[in-house]
Amino acid sequence: MNDLSNSVVVILAAGKGTRMKSEKAKVLHQISHRPMIMYVVETAVQISGKNVVVVVGSQAKKVQGVVSQSADVIFAYQEEQKGTGHAVLTALPVLPDHCQNIVILSGDVPLIKAATIKQLIAIHVEQQNEITILGVKLNEPFGYGRIVINKSGEVEKIVEQTDASEAERDINIVNSGMYCVKKNFLKNSLIQITSNNVQNEIYLTDIVGIASLQNKKTGLMICHDQTEVMGVNTREDLQNIEALLMES
């Protein structure tokens, strides 16, 4: 079984997106007359065919309806939005048994390319990592989780902006929110995460710290095209991404 048929893509699409100032669930906002979520779903299908799980929450039935019109995917329901780690936990029961590597994408990062994620999976398998993070270098990293690398050049942890020290805020390698993780490690680490942080949420990023404590290998792939990892949080973000799409 090759690396791709051995992989499942989990798309996190449960958030309401309060900063959009709209009643519509964030992932249903349109870019070039198509719901944002569909760009990510199409990319996921190119990677792993029917092995795609979409985690829904806010306006779950509407999101399911839109996605189901165009793609044959599996849905998981996150009743309360308690963070990214909690969202992935809700997906675990529906993951296909044969899949060993879990790719995690965000439903609000529509420009990510299948080729980039395929490369992430290849690096993950080749290096025999427990986790492989897709990172990006930003001149202005404010607001993003920083990837902390130790003196040996290994990934030690990801620290969110709100929890970062002054020194950590100076780091310009940031987390895209996209990963490839071995299924068994993901299952074992998610149940160890607590919500002991400023947001009182279960951060998926905490699995990196768990891997470090257990001397498990975490890899890093730098995405050289910043536009691929641009997320949508506001209407202005939506317009910027639409403009990028029209240029391409």
Reply yes or no on whether 235 is catalytic.
Answer: no
Q: Which of 19, 34, 146, 235 is catalytic?
A: 19
3-state SS, residue 94: helix
The rounded radius of gyration (Å) of the Cα atoms in the chain is 17
The DSSP bridge partners found for residue 173 are 137
Estimate the crossing angle of helix 183-190 against helix 206-213, to 10 degrees. 100
Spatial contact of 120 and 112, defined as CB atoms under 8 Å apart: no
Exposed (0-12), middle (13-18) or buried (19+): which is 3, by Cβ within 10 Å?
middle
Query: What gap in Å lies between CA 118 and CA 103, rounded to an integer?
Result: 10
Spatial contact of 13 and 63, defined as CB atoms under 8 Å apart: yes
Nearest to 203 by CA among 175, 226, 180, 230: 175
Nearest to 158 by CA among 104, 227, 237: 104
User: Which token pair is 92?
Assistant: 């675990």
- Annotated catalytic residues are 19
